[in-house]
Structure 1
Amino acid sequence: MSGPIPVAVVGPTASGKSALALDLAERLDGEVVNIDAMQQYRGMDIGTAKLPIEQRRGIPHHQLDVLDVTETATVAGYLAGAVADIDTLRDAGKTPIIVGGSMMYIQALLDDWQLPATEPVVRAKYEGQLERLGVAALHQELARVDPAAAASILDTDGRRIVRALEVVEITGEPFAASAPVIGEPRWGTKIVAVDRDTEHLDERIRLRTELMFDGGLVSEVRLLEGQGLRDGQTARRAIGYAQVLAAFDGEYDLAEAAERTFIGTRRYVRRQRSWFRRDHRITWLDGASDELAEQALRVVVGDTGTRGR
């Protein structure tokens, strides 16, 4: 199938990806395809910084609000929907603007990462350990058997820790051994990453966290709790939601939940940067630039820009 070449806008949280994606969609007659795992969940709006409908400039968005909080977000499930959406858009002459920061989802989509099929007995073993021992202990086990995987997976991300341990046990090889060799991206996708000076980005993360807590995150979590948030394997562990649930359980107060959300987000950003900077295909752009959209457009239309910054 031929059609417009997709553009992927990736990079760390709070760097300015969403605004750039909208700018590119307007200029390239495109539509947005979400590649943020947690924005797939209906009702998880404030804590995921999901753009409200009225701020989307009338541009259709795909792969948002496709899961209930009780459902498990998986790479395979995402791929089935996203690939179909992108193919449909290209067939209609629309440019897919793929935007988000979920590292494994991005590599799976652009490099056709085929992870081994799950084995229920092995999966159940590690999920049981997660419930009994806690996420920190399971992350320590991953660090023991596969240090590289532990370094790339947040130590609060129980679902991905379980999956990595499962893959290591099934294959007898490190988790990364199943990853594809970075080559020509699917559909010839152009990839740009938005980043900012670390101090500036930390300030943006701090402000975003404060706005989330002041803007109704606690009420959002309480509402989702009534819809089964605690029963989900993935949604309840999202940064922000996990901390508020812990506050509900009396582990600490809401002020501490906000601080832990800020710290968790900042740590996640460091991992995103490390992951994306391994990809030589990415052109890095300064999110603070007044000419961000123009710089991105030059990359998309063939200017080599500043690859591998």
Structure 2
Amino acid sequence: MTTEPTLWVIVGATGTGKSETSLALAAELAQRGRRAEIINADAMQLYRGMDIGTAKLPEGERRGIPHHLFDVLDVTEEAAVAAYQPEARTAIADVQARGAEAILVGGSGLYVSSVIYDFQFPPRDPARRAALEAEAAAKGIGVLVTRLRARDPDTAARIDPANERRVIRALEVIESGSAGHGAALPDRPVLWHPRTRILGLRMPREDLVARLDARVERMWEDGLLGEVEKLRAAGIERGMTARRAIGYAQALAQLAGELSENEAIAQTQSLTRRYARRQVSWFRRYAGVHWFESHDDATRVLDLWRDDSDRGSGAALLD
């Protein structure tokens, strides 16, 4: 029987049930004699106190399964994929050193890619970044977007022009002399871990849209405004990343009197749908993903690989 550990990866658009699937997979692995631990790959779930708006699984619902890289940042700190990558890989190595399977779960495409593929990051230039941030504050992000499109159209096409942090990072890299932004899925990605198995969750778009719209409404019903009021006291408005998170930015605007509740909800729903489309496009490019409907169970997933192995088309994960 092989003892080489597997890195399981669960990806998909927001709202497709990745957290629930990770628990089901861990439970099924346990039934087959394999312990599992879960590692977060959702940028916003790194933050302490950002629970309702990120659909973070409460500790009491984690079924005793160890979870890693949740609640590791204050809302005043910046989430950076270059810092996340080594932390996630160390967590995976530690889990596997304990004889358990690691399950990487999340919808932040760049974060997932940085871990599972041989993914290199360009250097940072704090002084140049500060200058770009000052320029954006003085002239607006549109000036920087125009410059990015002129300097590197391919990178500009991959980045949401409303995502100020990513636009500034791209220009920081380019103006530092790099040939390109670098923070994108490589053309021919090479897996970092030799036994990586990627599970993709999907559902018909009309079903996903209805589910996402309803989830946003529940966020407000469940007390998102109260959560954001507490985060204001913790300094979220000083944070470069957390304050821009979908739902949190709109709740902050509502608390400031800039949006009505209906407007905040509608804007969050629209941005969430847009984000889900980008996630679908990102993960669709991954090679070797086994896609299944979000309601399929973990037993079917494991049996799928066993059946593939029996036919000689996959690794024997259950031998």
Q: Which moved more, 1:23-32 or 1:245-254?
A: 245-254
The answer for the alignment partner of 2:232 in structure 1 is 225
Is the CA contact 2:121–2:182 (under 8 Å) kept in the aligned structure 1?
A: no
User: Alpha-carbon deviation of 1:87?
Assistant: 0.5
Between the aligned residues of both structures, percent identity stands at 42
Asked if the contact 2:118–2:191 (Cα under 8 Å) also holds between the matched residues in 1, the reply is: no
Does 2:176 match 1:170? yes
Question: Partner residue of 1:49?
Answer: 55
Q: State the secondary structure of the residue aligned to 2:298.
A: helix
| Partner secondary structure for residue 73 of structure 1 | coil
Change (3 A) 1:265 1:125: same
Aligned-partner Cα distance in 2 for 1:23–1:254: 36
In the alignment, which residue of structure 1 is the partner of 2:99?
93
Q: Rg: which structure is higher?
A: 2
| Comparing 164-173 and 260-269, the one that deviates more | 164-173
Structure 1 counterpart of 2:250, which letter? Q
Does the C-alpha gap of structure 1 residues 138 and 264 become closer, same or farther in structure 2, counting only changes over 3 Å? farther
Corresponding residue for residue 182 of structure 1: 189
What per-residue deviation string (whole Å, max 9, x for no partner) do you get for residues 192-213 of structure 1? 1101100000011001100101
1:261 maps to which of 262, 268, 271: 268
What residue number does 1:84 align with? 90
**Cα distance, 1:294–1:149 mapped onto 2, change above 3 Å:** farther
Count of residue pairs brought into register by the alignment: 304
Q: Residues 121 and 183 of structure 2 are in contact (CA less than 8 Å); yes or no, is this contact kept in structure 1?
A: no
Matched, 1:125 2:126: no
Retained in 2: the 8 A contact 1:32–1:62? yes
What SS does the corresponding residue of 1:175 show, helix, strand or coil?
A: coil
The 8 Å contact of residues 152 and 275 in structure 1, kept in 2 or not, is answered as: no
Q: Distance in 2 between matches of 1:136 and 1:227?
A: 30
| 1:27 counterpart residue number | 28
Deviations 1:260-289 (A, max 9, x none): 1111111111111111111112222111x4
* Runs of 5+ consecutive residues of structure 2 not aligned to the other structure: 30-34, 315-319
Length-normalised TM-score, structure 2: 0.88
Please say if residues 285 and 292 of structure 1, whose CA atoms lie closer than 8 Å, have aligned partners that are also in contact: no
CA apart distance, 1:136: 5.4
Rounded Cα–Cα distance in structure 2 between residues aligned with 1:299 and 1:169: 47
Alignment of 1:1-309 (within 5 A): 3-28=4-29, 29-135=35-141, 138-176=144-182, 180=186, 181-287=188-294, 289=295, 291-301=296-306, 303=308
Unaligned runs of 5+ in 1: none
| SS of structure 1 residue aligned to 2:308 | coil
Q: 1:285 to 1:185 in 2, by over 3 A?
A: farther
Distance in 1 between the 2:307 and 2:181 partners? 35
Q: TM-score, normalising length from structure 1?
A: 0.90
Q: 2:122·2:182 contact (CA, 8 Å) conserved in 1?
A: no
Please state whether the residue corresponding to 2:107 is helix, strand or coil: coil
* 1:223-279 deviation line (CA, Å, top 9, x unaligned): 101110011111111111111112233322121111111111111111111111111
Counterpart of 1:123, as a letter, is: R
CA offsets 1:86-123 (integer angstroms, 9 cap, x no match)? 10111111110100011111111111322111012221
For 2:283 and 2:184, the matched residues in 1 are separated by 18
